[in-house]
A and B are shown apart, each in its own frame.
Chain A
Amino acid sequence: MNLLKITSGLVGGFALLMSGSLVLAAPPVSEIIERANQASYYAGRDGRSEARMRIEDNRGRTQTRQFSVLRKNVEGSDEQKYLVVFSRPSEFRGTVFLVHKNPAADDDRWLYLPDLDLVRRIAPGDKRTSFVGAHIFYEDISGRNLNEDRHELLEETDQHYVLKSTPKAPGSVEFASFQTWIDKETFLPVRIEYTNAVGEVYRIMENANIEVVDGYPTPMMMRVQDLQSGGNTVVQFRGVSYDLGIPDAVFTERSLRNPPAEWLDRR
């Protein structure tokens, strides 16, 4: 779900239709998961968004990062491409991340540091590491592979499907399980609680301020709380739009040194 969730929503109207018509039984877990994944990460063919991220520690000390995100789905697959361009604070202006997401294998990631004029590939590694110092992980941004966890439906309320997911390879991640509240109307996960080995919830992720943009339900705010350190990160989104027809060329290494202003600027 997330950060770049910019984009979210799924086949919005269709979802409404579904939830309206299926009053009796919940869809199978696999379907809920799949639709939530779609709603969170794959809304539209492509999309753009401006994000402002505020990282706060337990003492109220803050760091802010502002960036624009372009995203495009690779047609006929679950692969995606992201371009993240930093605008503020000024010392990060022009810093760019390019991600070619490939759920079936490792993602390809590039980084451009303008002051050093360096393009670097980022080696595929742990995806549960911080994104530029925030309490948000790379994996929160690009989505966790659905097949890495076992999912079960814990509960169905008036508004939510409550799912519990347990990693198939427990040693590979820092959580023991997580619980997701999926909005029945939009299929957007609105709350995820991560539980550690001793059964404590230590990390909470929330999606809020859901607006329908270009027909796609889109959370305009997301928040991750790190209960262990007492810090949190809030991301606000603006200037969201979908189905812009962004060309593939935007998502190449060329864009690292020359960010595509025509797509980044709001129109």
Chain B
Amino acid sequence: MGKTLAFWCMDRSRAVFTAVILMVLALGMMIPKIMIDTDPENMLSAEQPDRVKHNEIRDRFGLHDMIVVGQVNTQHAQGVFNPESLAAHYALTRAIEQMDGVIARDLMSMAAVDNVEQAGVGTIAYDWLIPSPPETQEEADRIRAAVERLPMYQGTLVSEDGQAAALFVPLESKDISHRIAMEIRSVVEGLGVADEFHITGQPVAQDTFGVEMFQQMAISAPLAGLVIFLAMLYFFRSLPLVIAPMLLAMATVISTMGLLIGMGYTVHIMSSMIPIFLMPIAVVASVHVLSNFADRYRPGDDPREVMGDVMDKLFKPVLFTALTTAVGFLSLLTTPIPPVQVFGGFISFGVVVALLLTLGFIPAYTVSLKRETLDRMAEKFRRKELADQQANKDGGLLGRMGRFPARKPGMVIGLVVAVLVVSVYGIQQIQINDNPTLWFKEDHRIRIADKVLNERFAGTYEAYINLRQTGIEQQVDELRRSIQLTLDEAAREGLDLRSAWSGMWEDSAGAASPGDRLETLAMLIDDHLFDAEPEAQDYWMEILDQVEAGRTATRAFQNPGHLAWMDELKNHLEKTGVIGKANSLADLVKTINRELVSGDMQDYVLPDRANGVAQTILSFQSSQRPDDLWNFVTRDFTQASIWLQLPSGDNQVMSRVVDAVDRFVADNPPPAGVELEWGGGTYINLVWQGEMVEGMLWALGSAFIVVLIMMIALFRSLLLGVLAMLPLTITIAAIYGVMGLIGKDYDMPVAVLSSLSLGLSVDFAIHFIQRLRMALDDVGGDWKAAMDQVFDEPARAIVRNAVVIAIGFLPLLAAPLVPYITVGVFLASIMATSALVSLFVLPAFIALAPRAVLGKAVKSV
């Protein structure tokens, strides 16, 4: 099969080259259409229920992605409350309001919000907190005194110690946040104050990540190519021989990325790693082919014949190692996370492309080389091999390693068991956690900003609890039934009001909510009163009263009881310390109530009745920013939102908040019919993290089973199949065990790696077992002699391969972003470890029962 294919390609080398070039050009042309996507929200599909809810909540309450800008002054005794800092704060606020894409009316800063206070006895004042830049320290002190009386702003717009002030900058869309952040930085530079300024917030982190992702792709991928090139040059000492795999790798990477982009997929953090994954994988198989070719070729041989033999022998292992790798990546399709699916799917495609090129392009390339070149290459290669053999003779490290487990299998197996026990313990210690801010290195300015601002303020990470009053429709139905009774009563008096009523009912149908509909109905009835016959007036008045009362009843979050419950929840969460701070309608109403009544803390309470709440709110609606109200409650007052500020974006922190809320709700049930839902970026991160852990377990399980079945089919032996899976199982267990022990969080990159490393690292076992079987035939059934033979050239090839792959991932260490570094370290160590474990553990198990494992080919000694 391999031979036929190789001959076919070698006879049509021009056609093969043309086809490869055409493919690369056609797909590569798509690459300029690249679209970057760094939104962690996209870790969930657009239809995922939590994401849909999250977006509904944002929409309902007019919530936007926000950049957080912090201003810190530790020099002045009054912190930022000095004329210069406040003037800078004022100027910065005004400048940001003018920026294109900033939603100025929702921007929050001390220079953009209201101060509500008593201005003299019996006088309430709504005025800008900082109406104009203060000129004296007295004015600055007055601003400080004012803001300290406003609980909604304490810890949010100003730090408790007064040393820091914050601006929350809402954006029309998060993909402009990097630009806005740059514009803010340039304004800050022109402010001329000594204060420190920091910019953070999830959208900046994401957008910045996108920018640096490009850098990573531009640096790490070519660097990986270079490193692999150098490593191969060291091993093979022949430029022409090494160039072929490099061309193959480039063709694979360009085609795969071109196809991905051409099919309209965005390049997400996951798919940006495709080039660096594909490069070493693509190279490996061709390395096997070429080294085998170099090994066999003698000057004067017909390269076509030699290559034919090589492909004949290697077709099966090359095919199977490629397929197992593809399966490992394909298993990612079973995860519920779209970017991970895209990543898995396209790498599999790339692996198949690399496989086809190895089978077709490499033979065609080789026979197109000049004879002298081939001769020189073969000569050099053999000299190197001989030198290696000489160096390793008997005393060689590999050789010793090979004999030890065969002699003392019990010891090795005992060691394996010990490692597994420790690993299982370690795995139990694994902390599942992620935080997109931590994707930046510790010295990155976003990390620094994150640290500074979250130390000083209640938190720059947001989550929302959406409270919803249910049963409104039933209330309306009930109202209609009771109005029906009034209509019946009128009918008994000989007044037919029914058609007028049903006309009005129909006319009100377009309203946005049941409450709006009842409000419209009240208007229509009110209008109708003018035309109604005098006898009907009283009935219509009664119906109007019923409708009004019904409407009032729908306005759940005007009830002091509802607000009080939200307040208790907030206080509970703040007291237990799981959140930095929470703001809700209750805080707003209490503040306004206090200033309306006396301005004293004892009046920082909710009004006793719903009408009192409504009138307090009406008063607030005459302030500078009446629309802030709708960030906390819907216009029909059937839903409310509590804004939680979290000092950390760790999923574990979010998870603790969710637990705390669940416990509180269990102990203190909300008002009847009120339901809770979650939203906010930090919560969404928690959701996809949860889906990922589960999804990855699935992927790992399914990849394991498929690869196992493939191994059994390849070796036509259940035992050998299981044996082939053993080294990588031990490796993955050990690496995750170590991760748990050293406290590295199980995050997105780590999770994705588990199943795909399975497909990669099984290659070593395939080669080892395949070569051992061949050697067994060669030496006539003496398994120990066969083992010695395997630990010569084949073992070196395996180690060489592992080194190429491991080294190929190392340039990721130079990446500016942590996930790439994690992937680099993790994969390099998995590759290296699993190669060693294959060479160390397989002989031990084989030595236990050679005949049982290797079959009849083993002669008893």
Contact = CB atoms under 8 A, between A and B. Distances in A.
A62 B512 contact: yes
Nearest to B549: A90
B124 A122 contact: yes
Nearest to A62: B516
Nearest to A128: B624
A129 interface: yes
Given A126-B624, A131-B622, A115 B519 contact: no
A88 B549 CA distance: 11
Contacts of A92: 614-615, 618
B519 A126 contact: no
Contacts of B549: 90
A52 B105 CA distance: 27
Interface residues of B, number: 51
Contact of B513 (A61, A115, A125, A197): A61
Contact of B597 (A59, A63, A66, A118): A118
A123 B123 contact: yes
Interface in B592-634: 593, 596-597, 607, 609-612, 614-616, 618-619, 621-624, 626-627, 629-630, 634
B687 to A, nearest CB: 26
Interface string B535-566: 00000000000001101100100100000000
Contacts of A133: 618, 621-622, 626, 629
A125 B126 contact: yes
Contacts of A129: 126, 622-624, 626
B552 A90 contact: yes
Interface string A24-42: 0000000000000000000
A61 B635 CA distance: 7
Given A89-B522, A118-B596, A125 B125 contact: yes
Nearest to B123: A121
B610 A91 contact: yes
Contacts of B611: 90-91, 114-115
A132 B127 contact: no
A123 B512 contact: no
Contact of A120 (B555, B596, B636): B596
A122 B123 contact: yes
Contacts of B519: 62-64, 89
A264 interface: no
B523 interface: yes
B615 A95 contact: yes
Nearest to A130: B626
B551 A89 contact: yes
A198 B829 CA distance: 58
A60 interface: yes
B511 interface: yes
Nearest to A238: B530
Contacts of B615: 91-92, 95, 113-116
Contacts of B624: 126, 129
Interface string A123-144: 1011001111100001000000
Contacts of A114: 611, 615
B122 interface: yes
A228 interface: yes
Interface string B506-522: 00001111001001101
A57 interface: yes
Nearest to A86: B618
A229 B511 CA distance: 19
A208 interface: no
B512 A116 contact: no
A74 interface: no
Interface in B560-608: 593, 596-597, 607
Contact of B124 (A88, A91, A121): A121
A214 to B, nearest CB: 19
A131 B105 CA distance: 17
A125 B119 CA distance: 11
B235 interface: no
Given A88-B522, A116-B597, A95 B618 contact: yes
A130 B596 contact: no
A60 B508 CA distance: 13
B124 A123 contact: yes
Given A113-B615, A130-B621, A61 B124 contact: no
A111 B612 contact: no
Nearest to A97: B622
B128 interface: yes
9 contacts: A61-B512, A61-B516, A91-B552, A91-B555, A91-B615, A111-B124, A116-B593, A123-B127, A229-B105
What 6 pairs between A and B have smallest CB-CB spacing? A123-B125, A133-B621, A91-B614, A115-B611, A115-B612, A123-B119
Given A119-B122, A122-B123, 12 more contacts: A57-B635, A89-B548, A90-B611, A91-B614, A113-B596, A115-B611, A118-B596, A125-B125, A129-B626, A132-B618, A132-B622, A228-B105
Interface of B: 98, 105, 119-120, 122-128, 510-513, 516, 519-520, 522-523, 526, 548-549, 551-552, 555, 558, 593, 596-597, 607, 609-612, 614-616, 618-619, 621-624, 626-627, 629-630, 634-636
